[in-house]
């Protein structure tokens, strides 16, 4: 292999690893996935194949070498009695046959789509409930799990003195739809799918909230002394104790397994809870133990994943939407077709690369699926049905709203219109974002914003606070009630906290969580405007891309002018400081710290403030200038290795609190 090809291949593998790690964070930690399971699995399969073909690029920290983590740092952590591994995925009949070569006595169970849970019962009483976490350590969510009605607090009969059962907590479809209707009524973002709803619920700080959402649970594994030597026997025992169990179908050959798969695939559309496949597992516990596991998956069980429900329809046209950041997104306009219980008329095409890969032509018969059971997307084209002479869909070279030549930054798949100030689509989209419920919650819709923009009354968000009453009365359908509601919501927006205002500005890549962290760290817009690249990247969740975007935003004179107008309108550009400034000291003056891991006594942001108030600096990366690493549980392995190589001292929470005399440290006696 030539040096250039080798470099390109290594870069492709590294990029794929980084992409999967980002999706892992969004899925497990944030419970907000941005790609469907199928897309994620395809990326993982591609990475596994590349690493298998090129072992010279082996990396022990690759996503293929570990179990994904759902640790959020909001709950007490505890170790599992034995690893809680994830299952490997298969998709074809050939892979089923390959698995059946291991044993001819297997069980096929539905693969419930929720959050994995480990329950410990001592003397028949529920004592602990742990999430899967990273497979070795989980989060203690016992208080919330106790609200799940299908999980008994006391077992019936005579179970072993100590028994651990593992299963899946799920949100029934009926409850998922009810919850999303309620969230929309309250102006909250609806959950993307039942899995994320279940995960978000079980990690609520308030058990009362968890209780309000009617979760369900199914048990699929039982461990304890004196139990039957087969999985099916243990599941039968668990059912006698009052636990709701999975529904295993015994199979003795590949044909039986395929029939069971088809049976579950047929009934899952009408099933009360979400499933995304089946689990095939060997019944004999002795055989399971003999086969063992790899570092991340058991060899005695595998998940067969269902294909997403698909429909076929005709592509009518492709339109292009210009977002607030200038991103141009193609949208397919379709002949209406029913899919997963709803009528689909539009589907996302993501970007120019997607159009190119699909080789779309006008009038094509296309196949659509709902990614994550929610978002419609085109997955294929019936080229044999293509009309003669059909024109290819070509991504535009110029902005569809203002005609400015589009640009595509290196390393990105999205095209942007660079005419931020003069592009009507961007201007209106920025005002819509600013007024949205999650931002300033102003009582005005896209149609009215469009009318105000076209009439010259609203060319940026600050204009909303200067709208003359006369112009509103001339709007179609507007009367005194509309005008009063708008003015009331504008007044209420002036009382919203700094973090909401910061998010409402619409800085590219800056989401709600990152805006909240920046507001808590810098406390005012003036401090944030003066922040350096290094100080920005030292904040949790603020990577290099977000930091550079923030610097670029504040470097623009028009953006600074907008902020001053909004400040004059009365919006909050200062956060409440939780601790008085006079509590600063020079106890750690001149030192540089790196914070890594999950902490029990304080959050990472709290430790950052303690360090800065003691006169020290916080860095995001380990270097020869690092004096200490403040390490919690699950410290990043790359930082640990680099610290050891450089001889940087690693200290615990209690070590640090002893150094500073910070709250939470108790001297042992």
Q: Are 427 and 459 in contact (CB under 8 A)?
A: yes
The token pair that represents 334 in the structure block: 């379709």
Distance CA 648, CA 642 (A): 8
Q: Are 419 and 387 in contact (CB under 8 A)?
A: no
> N- to C-terminal Cα distance for the chain?
64
Contacts of 219 (CB under 8 A, 6+ apart): 119, 165, 166, 167, 235, 238, 243, 244, 245, 246
**Which neighbouring-strand residues pair with 167?**
117, 219
Residue 385, CB-side half-sphere exposure with 13 Å CA sphere:
12
Q: Are 506 and 438 in contact (CB under 8 A)?
A: no
Q: How far is CA 598 from the centre of its chain?
A: 19
Q: What is the dihedral of CA 548, 549, 552, 554, to 10 degrees?
A: -110
What is the DSSP annotation of 423-464? -HHHHHHHHHHHHSTTTT--S--HHHHHHHHHTTS-SSGGGG
Q: Would you put residue 293 in left (φ > 0), alpha (ψ -120 to 50) or beta?
A: beta
Tokens 């983590």 label which residue? 69
Contacts of 209 (CB under 8 A, 6+ apart): 201
Distance CA 168, CA 555 (A): 49
Distances from the Cα of 356 to the Cαs of 353, 376, 383, 392, 397, in angstroms? 5, 18, 14, 10, 14
**Which neighbouring-strand residues pair with 293?**
298
Catalytic residues: 111
Q: Which helix (H) or strand (E) holds 650?
A: strand 649-651
Q: Are 90 and 108 in contact (CB under 8 A)?
A: no
Q: Are 666 and 649 in contact (CB under 8 A)?
A: no
Distances from the Cα of 581 to the Cαs of 307, 452, 664, in angstroms? 57, 44, 20
Helix, strand or coil, per DSSP, at residue 588 = coil
């Amino acid at each position: 292999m030539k040096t250039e090809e080798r470099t390109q291949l290594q870069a492709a593998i590294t990029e794929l690893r980084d992409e999967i790690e980002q999706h892992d964070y969004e899925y497990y930690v944030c419970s907000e996935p941005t790609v469907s399971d199928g897309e994620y699995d395809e990326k993982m399969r591609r990475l596994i194949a590349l690493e298998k073909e090129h072992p010279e690029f082996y990396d022990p920290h690759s996503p293929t070498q570990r179990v994904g983590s759902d640790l959020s740092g909001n709950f007490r952590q505890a170790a599992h009695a034995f690893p809680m591994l994830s299952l490997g995925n298969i998709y074809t009949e050939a892979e089923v046959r390959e698995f059946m070569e291991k044993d001819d006595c297997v069980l096929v169970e539905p693969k419930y789509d929720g959050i994995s849970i480990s329950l410990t019962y001592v003397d028949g009483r529920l004592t602990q409930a742990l999430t899967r976490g990273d497979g070795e350590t989980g989060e203690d969510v016992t208080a919330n799990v106790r609200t799940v009605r299908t999980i008994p607090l006391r077992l019936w009969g005579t179970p072993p003195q100590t028994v651990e059962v593992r299963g899946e907590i799920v949100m029934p479809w009926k409850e998922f739809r009810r919850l999303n209707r309620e969230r929309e009524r309250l102006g909250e973002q609806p959950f993307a799918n039942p899995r994320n709803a279940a995960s978000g619920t079980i990690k609520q700080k308030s058990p009362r909230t968890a209780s309000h959402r009617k979760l369900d649970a199914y048990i699929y594994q039982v461990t304890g002394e004196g139990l039957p030597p087969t999985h099916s026997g243990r599941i039968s025992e668990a059912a006698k104790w009052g636990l709701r169990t999975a529904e295993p179908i015994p199979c003795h050959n590949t044909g039986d397994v395929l029939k069971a798969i088809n049976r579950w695939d047929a009934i899952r559309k009408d099933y009360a809870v979400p499933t995304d496949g089946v689990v095939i597992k060997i019944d004999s516990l002795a055989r399971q133990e003999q086969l063992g596991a790899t570092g991340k998956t058991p060899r005695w069980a595998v998940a067969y994943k269902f294909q997403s429900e698909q429909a076929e329809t005709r592509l009518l046209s492709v339109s292009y939407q210009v977002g607030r950041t200038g991103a141009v997104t193609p949208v397919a306009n379709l002949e209406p077709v029913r899919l997963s219980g709803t009528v689909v008329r539009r589907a996302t095409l993501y970007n120019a690369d997607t159009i190119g890969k699909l080789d779309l032509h006008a009038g094509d018969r296309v196949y659509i699926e709902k990614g994550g059971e929610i978002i419609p997307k085109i997955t294929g084209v019936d080229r044999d049905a293509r009309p003669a002479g059909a024109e290819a869909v070509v991504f535009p070279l110029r902005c569809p709203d203002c005609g400015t030549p589009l640009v595509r930054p290196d390393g990105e798949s999205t095209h942007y219109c660079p005419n931020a100030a003069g592009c009507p689509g961007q201007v209106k989209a920025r005002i819509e974002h600013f007024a949205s419920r999650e931002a300033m919650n102003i009582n005005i819709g896209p149609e009215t914003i469009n009318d105000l923009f076209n009439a010259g009354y609203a060319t940026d968000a600050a204009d909303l606070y200067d709208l003359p009453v006369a112009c509103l009365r001339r709007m179609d359908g507007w009367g005194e009630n509309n005008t009063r509601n708008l003015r009331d919501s504008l007044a209420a927006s002036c009382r919203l906290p700094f973090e909401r205002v910061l998010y409402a500005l619409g800085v590219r890549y800056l989401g709600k969580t990152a805006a909240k962290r920046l507001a808590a760290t810098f406390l005012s817009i003036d401090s944030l405007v003066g922040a350096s690249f290094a100080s920005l990247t030292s904040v949790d969740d603020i990577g290099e891309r977000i930091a550079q975007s923030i610097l670029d935003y504040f470097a623009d004179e028009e953006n600074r002018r907008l902020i001053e107008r909004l400040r004059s309108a009365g919006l909050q550009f200062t956060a409440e400081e939780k601790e008085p400034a006079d509590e600063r000291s020079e106890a750690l003056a001149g030192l540089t710290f790196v914070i890594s891991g999950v902490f029990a006594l304080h959050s990472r942001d709290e430790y950052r403030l303690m360090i800065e108030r003691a006169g020290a600096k916080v860095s995001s990366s380990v270097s020869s200038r690092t004096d200490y690493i403040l390490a919690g549980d699950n410290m990043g392995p790359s930082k640990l290795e680099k610290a050891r190589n450089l001889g940087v001292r690693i200290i615990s929470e209690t070590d640090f609190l002893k150094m500073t005399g910070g709250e939470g440290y108790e001297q042992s006696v």
